[in-house]
Chain A
Amino acid sequence: DIQMTQSPSSVSASVGDRVTITCRASQGISNYLAWFQQKPGKAPKSLIYAASSLQSGVPSKFSGSGSGTDFTLTISSLQPEDLATYYCQQYLAFPYTFGQGTKLEIK
């Protein structure tokens, strides 16, 4: 199985800050990577697919980059509503696997 490792596991930032979350795959996955946002008690919401393509309807403050084994999700101009846990997922090979999640807190 391809292991996905996110860092940090948690991050605290202030309103207006720029936040970057990283995701590393245990082997190359080209750009077969998605990012999801999960707010407390809610279903995950897709932000990014194919590593850098913005899901329809998602604000452009979210961006993704990377290829191969190293990927980043960047949230610009952090707002209180961005409080959530963020997950990456590889979908190059079965079984699809998720990172352990990054909990974003607002200072």
Chain B
Amino acid sequence: QLQLQESGPGLVKPSETLSLTCTVSGGSVTSTNSFWGWIRQPPGKGLEWIGSLYSGGSTSYNPSLKSRVTISVDASKNQFSLKLDSVTASDTAVYFCSKRGNGYYWGQGILVTVSS
């Protein structure tokens, strides 16, 4: 059974970089035809796709965040990561990691608050 688990700091200061990691168990980040991604949900609001990393190595990002986002993979740790630069209060949200392949899988989410 594939499981995804987000980790990282729950509080980030404005203008700093938000860094989160998703640890994959019950599957491999190198499995073919898989999209590993990040989605966020501001408090009380809907879902916003941040970006995805294809198992072949290519990445795609939401244009609304593109200049600030990097998604990368560490196959040796079976993890993939999100970095969001120059955060502001509007980046406060629950961040979910996900896998889309044969089906769709989500982590439990992690609340990240941007505040000084």
Interface residues of A (CB under 8 A from B): 34, 36, 42-46, 49, 53, 55-56, 87, 89, 91, 94-98, 100-101
Classify the secondary structure of B's interface with A.
Answer: strand
A25 to chain B, nearest CB (A): 15
A53 to chain B, nearest CB (A): 8
- Pick the contact of A44: B60, B103, B106 (CB < 8 A): B106
Residues A49 and B103 in contact, CB atoms below 8 Å apart = yes
A103 to chain B, nearest CB (A): 11
Q: Evaluate whether A46 and B105 lie within 8 angstroms (CB atoms) in the complex, with A91-B100, A95-B62, A96-B52 already known.
A: yes
Residues A87 and B109 in contact, CB atoms below 8 Å apart = no
B-side contacts of A46, CB under 8 Å: 103-106
Interface residues of B in 29-48 (CB under 8 A from A): 35, 37, 46-48
Cα A45 to Cα B49 in complex, Å, equals 15
B14 CB–A CB distance under 8 Å: no
Q: Evaluate whether A98 and B47 lie within 8 angstroms (CB atoms) in the complex, with A43-B96, A44-B96, A91-B100 already known.
A: yes
- Pick the contact of A87: B47, B61, B96 (CB < 8 A): B47
Q: Which 8 A-B pairs have the closest CB atoms?
A: A46-B104, A96-B49, A94-B60, A95-B62, A98-B47, A43-B109, A43-B108, A43-B106
A-side contacts of B107, CB under 8 Å: 43
Could you list 8 A-B pairs, sorted by A, with CB under 8 Å?
Answer: A34-B104, A42-B108, A44-B106, A87-B47, A91-B35, A91-B100, A95-B49, A95-B63
